């Protein structure tokens, strides 16, 4: 897929240059599409790349991306010009469509998981001309959500998807194009996206690319970029740019782990990006870890009073009943610290949690953008405007919100937080305590440090969602 895409982009660029040198006027007969389906925390993504000559010297790349996210499935369509600037699609900066549920909902039924992609494939058909579909590769890449299910179940789902694509898809497909990605690929891009219009900085890889792209930071020094923490459902990612001398001193990862440092070339500048994906520490997965850590007495200190039930995640079921006295901020925090393994032995100079090297900190981390479930819970807890695209907060804001939530019973919480889905209400104390503890004890952020919660980033005359699909597209287009 990557090879096919690079060849397509490279050929178009080469052809364009030769035509310009020869003084010829020419236009391609139609788009050259490439389709990619990807999954992260239950995310599926479908990318269509179209290359068009608008005139003698203007190359446009249109990227359509279908994402199966933790909260469901979604499709993004982006369009770049020859300068790697976003071009409007109609009146909008992107096309965006969303649906539910996500891939993890079908853990016990691989065929149903595959069938959930049919509507996305149909959307792709609306974008890719019929005469080009059999030339259009489709690739599936699953990440945290599928990895959390274990090798056996994830492979069953992948095989069901392969069968679906072979039997019912009109797109070009191969068995080895349906795979599980490593945990850092999704996070590699969000930071870059954010930086383009505002700061051009942070690099998470996918999320970091996205954020720094939109902020206008790509091409600047690493110290002028922003760091990104992206809290998904199955994993949490930290990414920020570090100096080359620190990158050279990075410890070797444990067997089976990805390298701590990614080297990327974007907008004419080389970046060394510290990036790590903490599997099982996304918000939804962390609930399971917290329940396991603090359920010795058959109840949880983090579950709101009045709730008696079970929590299901990744095909497993966990007891999730409130303590007789209800939830407690301090006792819940102790359970979260235990689940995070904050005190685990650190064999490096500096660690975050679980004995993981934290990248060393520094200038690339001073300006922190925090995304996904951090934004969602802050809006639901009422300390930021849910309609805002970005908001300035401190970790202590999550602490204060957690203390308020932990004092409530489930019925009071339902009325106090009308924006929280009913199934999530019993866990509002747990979620907020986890987010505060993750930032302060896990990542070492000062409780009073100002951070930027981000959902969408202002770009040109529009707002663009700070999500990793755009960052992934940026790296592909940037390297062509």
Higher pLDDT, 320 or 189: 320
Extract the annotated binding site for ATP.
233-237
Report d(CA 228, CA 249) in Å as an integer.
22
Average pLDDT of the chain is 74
Lowest mean pLDDT among 263-267, 299-303, 386-390, 408-412: 263-267
Q: Cβ neighbours of residue 390 under 8 Å, at least 6 residues apart?
A: 452, 453, 454, 455, 456, 457, 458
φ and ψ of 216, to 5 deg: 85, 25
Please give the annotated binding residues, written as ranges.
Answer: 233-237
Residue 142's pLDDT is 62
Cβ atoms of 319 and 295 closer than 8 Å: yes
Residue 220: pLDDT over 70: no
Calculate what percentage of the chain has a pLDDT beyond 70: 62
Question: Residue 277, Cα to own-chain centre: how many angstroms?
Answer: 10
Domains defined along the chain, listed by start: 2-180 (3.30.420.40), 183-468 (3.30.420.150)
Is pTM beyond 0.85? Reply is: no
> What is the CA angle 206-39-313, rounded to 5?
115
Contact between 138 and 35 (Cβ < 8 Å) = yes
Question: Which among 186, 289, 380, 475 is annotated as catalytic?
Answer: 186
- The 10 Å Cβ neighbour count of residue 119 is 14
Q: What is the pLDDT of residues 256-291, one digit of tens each?
A: 677 898 887 766 778 888 989 898 999 999 999 999
Instruction: Single out the residue of 124, 186, 96 nearest to residue 456, CA to CA.
Output: 96
pLDDT band at 215 (very low <50, low <70, confident <90, very high): low
Structure confidence at residue 57 (pLDDT): 31
206-215 helix and 468-478 helix, angle to the nearest 10 degrees: 80
20-79 pLDDT, tens digit per residue, is 343 333 333 333 333 334 333 333 333 333 333 222 233 334 344 444 444 455 555 566
Mean pLDDT of 316-325: 95
Give the DSSP letter of residue 463. Answer: E
pLDDT band at 352 (very low <50, low <70, confident <90, very high): very high
Give the pLDDT band of residue 222 (cuts 50, 70, 90).
Answer: low
Token pair, residue 125, equals 């058909």
450 is catalytic: no
Highest mean pLDDT: which range of 28-37, 192-201, 460-469: 460-469
């Amino acid at each position: 897929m990557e090879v096919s895409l690079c060849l397509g982009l490279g050929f178009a660029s080469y052809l364009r240059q030769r035509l310009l040198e020869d003084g010829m006027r020419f236009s391609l007969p139609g788009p050259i599409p490439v389709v990619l389906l990807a999954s992260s925390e239950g995310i599926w993504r479908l990318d269509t790349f179209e290359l068009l000559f608008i005139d003698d010297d203007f190359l446009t790349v249109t990227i359509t991306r279908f994402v199966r996210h933790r909260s469901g499935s979604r499709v993004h369509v982006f369009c770049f010009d020859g300068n790697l600037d976003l071009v409007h699609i109609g009146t909008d900066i992107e096309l965006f469509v969303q649906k539910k549920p996500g891939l993890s909902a079908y853990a016990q039924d691989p065929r149903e998981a595959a069938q959930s992609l049919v509507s996305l494939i149909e959307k792709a058909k609306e974008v890719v001309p019929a005469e080009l579909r059999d030339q259009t590769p489709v690739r599936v890449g699953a990440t945290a959500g599928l990895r959390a299910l274990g090798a056996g179940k994830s492979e069953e789902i992948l095989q069901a998807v392969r069968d679906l694509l072979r039997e019912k898809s009109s797109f070009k497909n191969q068995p080895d194009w349906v795979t599980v990605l490593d945990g850092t690929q999704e996070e590699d891009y969000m930071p870059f996206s954010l930086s383009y219009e505002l700061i051009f900085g942070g690099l998470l890889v996918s999320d970091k690319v996205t954020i720094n792209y939109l902020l206008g930071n790509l091409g600047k020094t690493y110290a002028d970029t922003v760091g990104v923490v992206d809290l998904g459902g199955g994993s949490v990612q930290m990414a920020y740019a570090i100096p080359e001398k620190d990158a050279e001193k990075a410890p070797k990862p444990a067997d089976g782990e990805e390298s701590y440092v990614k080297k990327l070339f974007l907008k004419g500048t080389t970046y060394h990006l510290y990036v790590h994906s903490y599997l099982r520490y996304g918000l939804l997965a962390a609930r399971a870890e917290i329940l396991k850590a603090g359920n010795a007495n058959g109840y949880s200190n983090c579950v709101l009073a009045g709730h008696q039930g079970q929590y299901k995640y990744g095909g497993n079921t966990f007891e999730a009943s409130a303590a007789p006295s209800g939830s407690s901020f301090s006792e819940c925090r102790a359970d979260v610290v235990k689940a995070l393994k904050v005190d685990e032995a650190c064999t490096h100079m500096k660690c975050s949690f679980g004995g993981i090297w934290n990248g060393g900190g520094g200038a690339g981390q001073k300006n922190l953008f925090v995304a996904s479930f951090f934004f969602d819970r802050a809006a639901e807890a009422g300390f930021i405007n849910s309609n805002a695209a970005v908001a300035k907060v401190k970790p202590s804001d999550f602490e204060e919100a957690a203390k308020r939530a932990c004092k409530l019973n489930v019925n009071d919480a339902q009325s106090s937080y009308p924006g929280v889905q009913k199934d999530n209400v019993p866990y509002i104390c747990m979620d907020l305590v986890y987010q505060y503890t993750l930032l302060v004890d896990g990542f070492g952020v000062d409780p009073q440090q100002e951070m930027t919660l981000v959902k969408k980033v202002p770009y040109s005359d529009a707002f663009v969602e700070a999500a990793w699909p755009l960052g992934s597209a940026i790296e592909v287009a940037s390297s062509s």
